[in-house]
């Protein structure tokens, strides 16, 4: 039985507790620090005079196109002609997609958000790996269960972690927008707020399945550090495994879609239908991971 009041209480207590514990503070501090560092990294080539804005824009467009080709498993064997394929070949849609991100929208914000999309999945387990496993390890969960249900506790911890993550992402993106608005000319920041809102939606959708994966690992393993290593290992190992197996047999690369790595880039697609599908996939992945977590937690010997 799902008790909404209990879920909200567990969510609130987790958020408050996260501000007092070492893992929670580390999660908040590292997320903000790394996010602002990525924004500074995106600006550095132009700010330091390494290149001019136009050359940097062109290089960024090509790099993003290569990244999209990798994410969509369309690199192929002929890497030498990759750029020409994006200009007039079978990858022309990816070339247009890359130009959409850096030409039609604020370039530095797009680059920062794309970098965050690569880093956040590795950081998010820091906010969820103790959600269940910490209480199981110290056996304090036994004092909670007589007053609530396992499902209410699990959903409350998931909701609290997700809300804390969304708040952090919002604060981070606001900080990035303010930072870019200070260093850029006023005439180049007009479209930054609408695009930042779109990027915020994309990052919040991206966070949902990875938070759910962290909760699943926390409900599966009794030791918090094992849960953290499992979540990070799965998040990092799966795309590396998929790209390696694709070299041996191309269909094996499809295991990339077991995690959001296979479609998360479509959250910033110019195609509305692709964006909608990516949002649905994120929700579906979250439901799958939480269903597995509920099944595992219900059967756990506490």
Helix%, strand%, coil% for the chain, nearest 5: 85, 0, 15
Question: Which phi-psi region, left, alpha or beta, contains residue 184 (left: φ > 0; alpha: ψ -120 to 50)?
Answer: beta
How would you write the pLDDT of the chain (302 residues) with one tens digit per residue? 567 888 888 889 888 888 777 777 888 888 888 888 888 888 887 776 667 677 887 888 888 888 888 877 777 655 557 777 777 667 788 888 888 888 888 888 999 999 999 999 999 998 888 888 888 887 877 777 777 888 898 999 999 999 999 999 999 999 988 888 888 776 666 678 899 999 999 999 999 999 999 999 999 998 989 999 999 999 999 999 988 888 878 788 889 889 998 889 899 999 999 999 999 999 999 999 999 999 998 887 76
92 token code pair: 């022309």
Quote the distance between the C-alpha of residue 13 and its chain's center: 24
In the chain, the number of structural domains is 1
Environment class of 102 (CB within 10 Å of its CB; exposed 0-12, middle 13-18, buried 19+): buried
Owner of token pair 């959600």: 131
C-beta of residue 41 within 8 angstroms of C-beta of residue 115: yes
Q: In which domain, by residue range, is 151 found?
A: 4-299
- Of 132, 129, 158, 157, nearest to 302 (Cα)? 132
Quote the distance between the C-alpha of residue 139 and its chain's center: 31
C-beta of residue 216 within 8 angstroms of C-beta of residue 290: yes
| Contacts of 163 by beta carbon, 8 Å cutoff, 6+ apart | 11, 15
Which pLDDT belongs to residue 18?
A: 80
Owner of token pair 């005439």: 187
Distance (Å, rounded) from C-alpha 152 to C-alpha 292?
Answer: 15
C-beta of residue 192 within 8 angstroms of C-beta of residue 98: no
pTM exceeds 0.85, yes or no:
yes
| Contacts of 41 by beta carbon, 8 Å cutoff, 6+ apart | 115
Owner of token pair 């690992």: 217
């Amino acid at each position: 039985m799902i008790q909404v009041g209990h879920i909200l209480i567990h969510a609130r207590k987790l958020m408050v507790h996260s501000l007092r514990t070492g893992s929670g503070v580390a999660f908040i501090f590292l997320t903000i620090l790394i996010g602002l560092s990525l924004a500074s990294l995106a600006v550095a080539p132009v700010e330091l005079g390494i290149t001019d804005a136009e050359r940097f824009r062109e290089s960024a467009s090509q790099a993003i196109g290569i990244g999209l080709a990798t994410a969509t498993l369309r690199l192929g064997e002929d890497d030498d002609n990759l750029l020409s394929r994006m200009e007039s070949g079978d990858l022309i849609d990816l070339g247009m997609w890359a130009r959409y991100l850096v030409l039609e929208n604020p370039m530095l914000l797009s680059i920062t958000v794309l970098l965050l999309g690569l880093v956040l999945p590795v950081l998010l387990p820091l906010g969820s790996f103790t959600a269940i496993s910490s209480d199981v390890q110290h056996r304090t969960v036994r004092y909670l269960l007589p007053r609530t249900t396992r499902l209410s506790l699990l959903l409350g911890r998931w909701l609290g972690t997700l809300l804390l993550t969304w708040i952090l992402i919002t604060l981070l993106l606001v900080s990035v927008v303010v930072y870019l608005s200070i260093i850029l000319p006023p005439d180049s920041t007009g479209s930054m707020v609408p695009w930042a809102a779109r990027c915020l939606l994309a990052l919040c959708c991206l966070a949902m399945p990875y938070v759910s994966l962290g909760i699943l690992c926390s409900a599966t393993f009794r030791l918090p550090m094992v849960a953290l290593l499992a979540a990070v290992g799965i998040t990092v190992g799966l795309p590396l495994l998929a790209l390696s197996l694709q070299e041996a047999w191309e269909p094996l690369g499809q295991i990339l879609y077991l995690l959001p790595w296979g479609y998360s880039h479509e959250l910033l697609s110019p195609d509305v239908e692709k964006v909608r599908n990516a949002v649905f996939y994120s929700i579906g992945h979250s439901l799958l991971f939480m269903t597995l977590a509920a099944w595992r937690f219900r059967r756990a010997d506490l």
